[in-house]
A and B are shown apart, each in its own frame.
Chain A
Amino acid sequence: MKHSERLELFENVRARYSVFLTSVLWKLTGDKELFTEAMQYSLFGIWRNVEKLKGEKAGSYIYRIALTANSKAWRNRVGRNGEIPNDPIDPAEDADERLDRAETAAIVRREISRLPRKQARAIVMRYLEQQDYQAIAEKLSCSKAGARSNVSRAMATLKSKLAVLA
């Protein structure tokens, strides 16, 4: 494919998915620095795979790109020092509860970035995008029961990882 064609395709894909990427990556990172990094990785990912993003599987690829970008951004951050970024906070909450909540949310986010890709996708669809199981099943090309099973496996993995950290 010519460079000019790739550019045009990239622009279309980027415009189509930019709201999705912004929303999902923000919720997955909850932190400006991580978000910036994940967004840049996503743009690289879209550019690199742009030929694959014109068919009906484009949505699936975009999830893959976003989740990989999120994992890379987290890996850069926590791979070295285990630092957890601060979460946006609600000033109305009690200070201790707020801190605890922010810290736990950051840990949950970090653990999502370490989930197997399919489980991460199920969690993102179910909780971060708040989709119902029917919609998840359609996107994952499986039955409704299969979608439930993916979400519960992801929840079990998250719970076991969080239990180790508790």
Chain B
Amino acid sequence: MNDDRLEEILNSIGAEEIPAEARKIAQDASNNFNKFLRQPSQPAKPSLLELIMRSRTTKLAAAAVIVIAVLAGLPFLPKNTASVTLAGVAEKLGQVKAIMYRMKMHVTGSMVPGTPQVSQDMESTIIISNDFGMKMEMDMTDPNTGKKTTQQMYVVPDSKLIVMVMPEQKRFTRMEFSDDLLAQMKKQNNDPREIIKQMMGCEYTELGRSTIDGVEVDGFQTTDPTVIGGVGENVTLTLWVDAESWLPVRSEIDFDMGEKMKVHGVVSEFNWDLPVTAEDFKPVIPDDFEPMASGMQMPKISEEGLIEGLRLFAELSGSYPKKLSMMELAQETMGFMTNRDVLEKIKEKIPQARGLDEDELDELDGDEVMMKTMQITKPLQSPGFFYMMLVQDKKEPVYHGETVGPKDIGAVLMRWKNADTEYRVIFGDLSARTVTGEQLAELEKQPPK
């Protein structure tokens, strides 16, 4: 390229008009940033926060967590068989080896007060096989640019791996999951018929007959929040079943996550007789894709994970989370991570970032620091997953994080049903005991000290 051509291009860039849309984006960014700065616990120098908030990795990981949570809670949920009719449907589906369906989700609102509102559309095609695992292809549309991004997620039970592939970024990540999570996923995700059983485990109403796409269907509806394992509130789940074949045709769900986010989801286009091979579930990763976050593990879903997560939360923030439902915990965690003291504590746990000033922190690889941050804060997700599992298993968890803190040694922080007459109790000092109903009643009479 000669000087004249380069000059010509530079001059043409310089002469470009600034579109009204750019001015609006700039104004919105300023307004959102202003709101963020006026939060009560704003950081003075948010370098690490900047990395966290701006990192594409975080956005992808956050989306993944939401998807995993919703997948874990939405379409395939366990429980007892109580209705002859729906039980017959479940039985009929017993021979199905693999299914495919489409899931559309629309999420609106803001994860953390003061941060930009999102209006995100996600469309997924999901294939689940009893023998080979799960494969999901998800398209997300950026509400600002209209640009679509794709993610593929594979759950490979044999090697206990979740593999996520991001074609636009030419990146992929492998996350190991534990036996606990595998057992949970097997119980839920590998058996799509469970949506029916789950509905039967809740109080539901029969909506009668209707027509969807020319097919006569019978409808069932529940507003029981346990149907999604405490992930959200104000839940309405509607299931439409083919009146002739008794195969599910469509399910719709609406729920709120925290005060700010609303989710609308539709599961449809079921294919109940899908021939699959192991090859269909083998992750496809082109040679030029870079690995990201290798060695990451999914959070533990166990009492141990619960205690580890609560301990870390208290270490960073000085108290326990107020609520343990997945989204409220995520919101509270993201909220306190804008606090300067909390960021400093996390920074001190990152060898590369320890002792660095703001400018030096700038020079670090953002994704590398971000991954380290995610590894350190990963246990914070465990209480949410564990609580969700307890809700789904109808173990009636009760959590007192709003009134019980780390110094309330003998106070009941959390408890759930272990068996008909037994309860597992976690105390303010995070010790645990199994007690009878009478003992629990005595313990709960004592106010926090």
- A residues near B (Cβ < 8 Å) are 3, 6-7, 10-11, 14, 18, 21-23, 25-27, 30, 32-33, 35-37, 39-41, 43-44, 47-48, 68, 72, 76, 80-81, 83, 88, 101, 104-105, 108-109, 123, 126-130, 155, 158-159, 162-163, 166
Contacts and interface: CB of A to CB of B under 8 A. Distances in A.
A22 B26 contact: yes
Contacts of B147: 33
A44 B38 CA distance: 14
Nearest to B49: A44
A76 B54 CA distance: 10
Given A21-B26, A162-B6, 15 more contacts: A3-B42, A10-B37, A11-B34, A22-B18, A22-B23, A33-B142, A33-B145, A40-B33, A41-B54, A44-B50, A105-B9, A128-B14, A130-B11, A155-B3, A155-B6
A88 B6 contact: no
A159 B6 CA distance: 8
B144 to A, nearest CB: 6
Contact of B25 (A27, A35, A127): A35
Contacts of B11: 127, 130
Contacts of A37: 54
B21 interface: yes
Interface in B25-72: 25-26, 29-30, 33-34, 37-38, 42, 44-47, 50, 54, 56
Contact of A80 (B21, B26, B47, B169): B169
Contact of B3 (A41, A108, A159): A159
B116 to A, nearest CB: 9
Given A14-B30, A159-B6, A48 B169 contact: no
Most B CB contacts (10 A, CB to CB) among A33, A72, A81, A101 go to A81
B6 A43 contact: no
A11 to B, nearest CB: 8
Given A10-B37, A40-B33, A48-B358, A108 B145 contact: no
A47 B56 CA distance: 22
A88 B38 contact: no
Contacts, number: 116
29 contacts: A3-B42, A3-B44, A18-B26, A22-B23, A22-B26, A30-B13, A30-B16, A32-B144, A35-B22, A39-B25, A40-B29, A43-B29, A44-B33, A44-B50, A47-B33, A47-B46, A68-B362, A80-B169, A81-B170, A88-B16, A105-B9, A108-B9, A108-B13, A127-B7, A127-B11, A129-B14, A155-B3, A158-B6, A162-B6
Nearest to A68: B362
Contacts of A159: 1, 3, 6
Contacts of B29: 36, 39-40, 43
B14 A127 contact: yes
A26 B18 contact: yes
